[in-house]
Amino acid sequence: MSFVIAAPDFLAAAATDLQTIGSALSAADAAAAGRTTTVLAAGADEVSAAVAAFFGGHGQAYQQVSAQAAAFHAQFVQALYAGAGAYVQTEAANVAQGALAAINGPTQALVGRPLIGNGTNGGPGQAGGPGGLLYGNGGKGGDGVAGQAGGDGGNAGLIGNGGAGGAGGAGASGGNGGNGGRLFGNGGVGGQGGAATSGINGGNPGSGGNGGDAVLFGSGGAGGQGGTGLAGANGVNPLLNGAAATGSVGVTQDSSNADAIGGNGGDGAVGGLGTTGGAGGAGGGALVIGNGTAFGAQGGTGGFGGNGGAGGDGGGASVIGGAGLAAGGGGGNGTIGAAPGGAGGNGGVGGNGSASNGAALGGPGGSGGIGWTGASGGSGGTGGTGGSGGHGGLFVGSGGAGGAGGTGGAGGAGAAGGQGGNGGGGGSGVSNGGGNGAGGTGNFGGDGGMGGSGGAGGFGGQGGHGGAAGAIGDGGHGGAAGSGGAGGGGGVGGTAGKGGDGGAGIAVVGHQGFGGDGGNGGSGGMGGTGGDGGGSALGGAGGAGGSLMGRPGTNGTAGAGGTGGAGGGGGGLGKGGAGGNGSSLLGSSGIDGSTGAHGADGQDG
């Protein structure tokens, strides 16, 4: 194909010759149509009529084929004419391109811009090239990368429009539009500001670029829209590392034919908000050999911390080989969680009581700690400001419209509330003779913590101001303020703790065995409140109208308020503890604890 050439004159001449041939054929077909399509019968008999109809039909079929051939011939001739015209236009363009290069060469060498032609588009974050000195539009500014402002649009020459500003990268401003031609032309539009991104430009959005100005005749360019505000961070409950020291174990007291009382367990050590409180120490046990009373000691209370410390178990009590009461110690209480979303500590288990010849009592369990409120979501950031519109031409021209403000960032979601601690179970009471046995009661489960509140949506950005008109023209309209960001959803309420089971009560025949009652379950935490939707800033001011004739621009409207966040769901309820089993004909089992209430849903923002 590299050796093929085309002569437009020859193509046009061939098309003309083909058209002449087609016209001659069409004329011949038309002349023969009447004689060949309608053939008279040679006689009145049926054979003559059939022969005439046969030849007439053949003539009509020929005319149909001739019409199709004529249509194809016309299309072919038209294609030849079109091809010849295309070659002519291409040769003319090549000649014009060469002439334009010859014209632009000297000015390009002297001042770095053509005499006629558009400016080049800028690279990332770079300004667009200027248009030709005599005629041409400015090049578009390059879009910025993260943290880099968009490039400004190139200015036009004598006649032409300014180039558009490039969009700003994340957190950076949009480029300004280029100015219109010095005699006639419109200013370029400003670039859009970049959306806010954490870690870039302090998390602030970029403002929209300003519209370019017209010089003598022409309209100012519109301002660019501001970037979207930074979204608020979701609430995150902290991760806890380690636990504070466990409380000391109570001293066990042994005696022979004398009362014995164990020592109380020590409270758990206090931990910081980043650690779990220390567990309470177990209560000391009591052992009597022979006659006497034995009292197990109380378990220690859980220590304060990010998660509440668990209560220590109650000390056991035993009377062996003699008569006397044996009573187990109570379990220590779990402590409330103190860090956002911190869980309450579990209650300690009551100590067991065992007597050879006397009453035996199981110790009550400790209560579960309450969960703490979940972490709140962060507020959304304010949207970026819209760019101002460019000024209209000095003699005739309207001002450019201000850019719209950016949308406010959405609020972050709240975190879930902390889980309530489980109530401690009651200890068993076992009498092997001479008295009743009673199990200890289970204690209540802790309530779940409230879900964290959703963050408020950010305010919408302010609209850009409209550009002023020249002597004749209307002022630019002010840009509308950005809409407020949506509020974050509230966190789910914490799950409640389960009630402790009652201890078993066991006694021999002739005495009563009473099971301990189960503890009530805790109530689920209330869902977190949804964040409020963001408000709106003011719209931009309208530009002044022409000094001789023209109307001022209208002020921009306020943006719509953001949608409030949905309230969080309520936390799950805690089940009641099971009543302890009772033994013997005269005894009874304990009553089951009641189930806690489901947490209420949080309010919408």
Q: Interior CA angle at 264 toward 260 and 269, to 5°?
A: 160
pLDDT of res. 2: 46
Residue 208 in any domain: the answer is no
- pLDDT at 88 > cutoff 60: no
- pLDDT at 392 > cutoff 60: yes
Phi first, then psi: what are they for 82, rounded to 5°? -65, -40
Q: Interior CA angle at 249 toward 243 and 251, to 5°?
A: 170
**DSSP assignments along 516-580, one per residue:** PPPPPPPPPPPPPPPPPPP-B-PPPPPPP--SSB-PPPPPPPPPPPPPPPPPPPPPPPPPPPPPP
- pLDDT at 11 > cutoff 60: no
Residue 274 in any domain: the answer is no
Please give the tally of structural domains in the chain.
2
Residue where a domain terminates, one of 84, 109, 134: 109
Q: pLDDT of 62-80, one tens digit each? A: 666 666 776 776 776 677 6
pLDDT of res. 433: 86
Q: With CA atoms as reference, report the closest residue to 210 among 392, 461, 390.
A: 390
pLDDT of res. 44: 65
pTM for this predicted structure: 0.73
Residue 246 in any domain: the answer is no
Residue where a domain terminates, one of 78, 109, 140: 109
Distance CA 604, CA 485 (A): 15
Please tell me which residue, 258 or 62, carries the higher pLDDT value: 258
Give 24: exposed, middle or buried? Use CB within 10 Å, 0-12, 13-18, 19+: exposed
What sections of 7-135 are H helices per DSSP? 8-37, 46-111
Residue 494 in any domain: the answer is yes
Cα 130 to Cα 119, 176, 222, 281, 323: the distances in Å are 5, 14, 19, 82, 110
Distance CA 52, CA 33 (A): 15
CATH number reported for the structural domain that contains residue 33 in this entry? 1.10.287.850
What SS3 state is found at 438? strand
Residue 583 in any domain: the answer is yes
Q: With CA atoms as reference, report the closest residue to 264 among 247, 277, 289.
A: 247
pLDDT of res. 19: 65
Q: With CA atoms as reference, report the closest residue to 361 among 249, 267, 254, 502.
A: 502
Residue where a domain terminates, one of 109, 135, 154: 109
Residue 198 in any domain: the answer is no
Please tell me which residue, 364 or 30, carries the higher pLDDT value: 364
Report yes or no: 173 and 139 within 8 Å, Cβ to Cβ: no
Residue 174 in any domain: the answer is no
The boundaries of the domain holding residue 47 are: 8-109
Q: pLDDT of 506-539, one tens digit each? A: 998 778 889 889 999 999 999 999 999 999 888 9
148-170: average pLDDT = 96
Residue 462 in any domain: the answer is yes
Distance CA 52, CA 31 (A): 19
For residue 198, the 8-state DSSP code is T
Amino acid at 465: H
Q: pLDDT of 430-459, one tens digit each? A: 999 888 999 999 999 999 999 999 999 999
Q: With CA atoms as reference, report the closest residue to 317 among 238, 397, 262, 369.
A: 262
